[in-house]
């Protein structure tokens, strides 16, 4: 693909030779002749003089001196441009349509003729699998599960009964969707299990990381909003509702009956106690322990959580504690001698 064609697709301006052929995409340091590289931030400019990349995509603020000898495409947002160009060079493999003879699809299930069911998949009664959906080997699809069109279910995923999955969803290997919520009551002698009668609903364009677990609701539904992205090893409890376009990073644990707003970012290892409401646009730093409701657009950190600026100030105080203790010791000695 010629450089000027790439520039046209991403709305960029070519500076240099737009006729050069681009055969691949690579990092600035790793690029070879025929590759296009990206300056996602100014920190990579120092590698440009030695880079063998045929062309570079950069933002309007890039140093023109280091770009002087490179063919380049100038765009407003190099990170977004990277996504679009990466898609052009992404290896594609369209699996064969149809149901493998080594899988089991119950008579009462409905699989679209243009869906793909790999070997060793088990599909229960009443399940519906949409057009162009792909279910990889060793997956279990429970009763009355609904999987939308263009959704991809990777190997070893278990989807419990009545779970609803939207369109263009990606579920990575080992995820468990719709298992019982963790709910018991002590009767004086033992823990009695509370039946989990609700469902799990996952909106369109959601991505769920490997080995992530999302529980069904106790009565109504657990809901994951459109466009939300989850990392690996996330735990979502029963009755949780997560708004659209939120980001849930690895090892986050959300207890039951929590409400998470739209465009929320929960960093790695964030823990959320039960029955908490987190507002729209909230950002929680990694390791935050959320113990009570959080207002819209708050930026928080620490355990129990607090405003991020307060947490930073606290870290400064903690570093000074040894010095403070030493000063107090000397003052006590002086007072004792007096």
Q: In whole angstroms, what is the distance from residue 18 CA to residue 64 CA? A: 17
3-state SS class at 116: strand
Buried-state track 42-65, b at ≥16 Cβ within 10 A, e below 16: eebbebbeebebbbbbbbeebeee
- Give how far Cα 28 sits from Cα of 56, 76, 82, 85, Å: 8, 19, 13, 15
Phi, psi of 227 (to 5 degrees): 75, 0
- Tokens 């493999």 identify what position? 93
Tell whether the torsion through CA atoms of 251, 169, 293 and 313 is positive or negative: positive
Query: What secondary structure does DSSP assign to 238-293, as a single string?
Result: TT-EE-TT-EE-TT-EE-TT-EE-TT-EE-TT-EE-TT-EE-TT-EE-TT-EE-S-
Buried-state track 2-32, b at ≥16 Cβ within 10 A, e below 16: ebeebbeebebebbbebebebeebbebeebe
- Asked if 230 and 207 touch (Cβ cutoff 8 Å), the reply is yes
**CB neighbours of residue 130 within 10 Å:** 19
- Asked if 312 and 295 touch (Cβ cutoff 8 Å), the reply is no
Q: In whole angstroms, what is the distance from residue 65 CA to residue 87 CA? A: 30
Q: Choose the catalytic residue: 93, 104, 191, 238.
A: 238
Q: In whole angstroms, what is the distance from residue 162 CA to residue 78 CA? A: 42
**Residue 238 annotated to the active site:** yes
Q: In whole angstroms, what is the distance from residue 333 CA to residue 168 CA? A: 70
Pairing relation of β-strands 199-202 and 221-224? parallel
**Residues acting as catalytic residues:** 238
């Amino acid at each position: 693909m010629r450089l000027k064609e790439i520039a046209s697709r991403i709305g960029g301006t070519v500076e240099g030779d737009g006729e050069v052929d681009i055969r691949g995409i690579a990092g600035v340091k790793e690029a070879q002749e025929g590759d296009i590289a990206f300056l996602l931030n100014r920190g990579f400019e120092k590698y440009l003089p030695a880079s063998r990349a045929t062309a570079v995509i950069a933002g309007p603020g890039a140093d023109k001196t280091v770009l002087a000898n490179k063919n380049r495409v100038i765009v407003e947002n190099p990170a977004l441009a990277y996504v679009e160009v990466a898609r052009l060079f992404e290896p594609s493999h369209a699996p064969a349509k149809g149901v493998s003879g080594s899988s089991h699809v119950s008579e009462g299930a409905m699989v679209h003729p243009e869906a793909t069911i790999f070997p060793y998949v088990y599909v229960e009664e009443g399940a519906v699998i949409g057009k162009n959906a792909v279910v990889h080997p060793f997956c279990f699809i429970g009763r009355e599960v609904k999987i939308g069109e263009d959704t991809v279910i990777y190997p070893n995923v278990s989807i419990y009964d009545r779970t609803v999955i939207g369109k263009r969803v990606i579920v990575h290997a080992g995820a468990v969707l719709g298992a019982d919520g963790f709910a018991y009551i002590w009767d004086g002698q033992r823990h009695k299990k509370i039946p989990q009668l609700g469902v799990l609903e996952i909106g369109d364009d959601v991505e769920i990381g490997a080995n992530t677990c999302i529980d069904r609701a106790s009565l109504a539904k657990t809901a994951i909003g459109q466009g939300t992205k989850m990392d690996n090893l996330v735990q979502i409890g029963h009755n949780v509702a997560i708004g659209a376009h939120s980001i849930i990073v690895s090892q986050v644990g959300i207890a039951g009956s929590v409400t998470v707003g739209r465009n929320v970012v929960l960093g790695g290892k964030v823990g959320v106690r039960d029955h908490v409401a987190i507002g729209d646009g909230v950002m929680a730093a990694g390791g935050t322990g959320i113990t009570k409701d959080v207002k819209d657009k708050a930026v928080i950190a620490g355990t129990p959580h607090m405003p991020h600026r307060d947490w930073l100030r606290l870290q400064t105080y903690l570093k000074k504690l040894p010095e403070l203790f030493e000063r107090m010791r000397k003052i006590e000695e002086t007072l004792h001698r007096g």
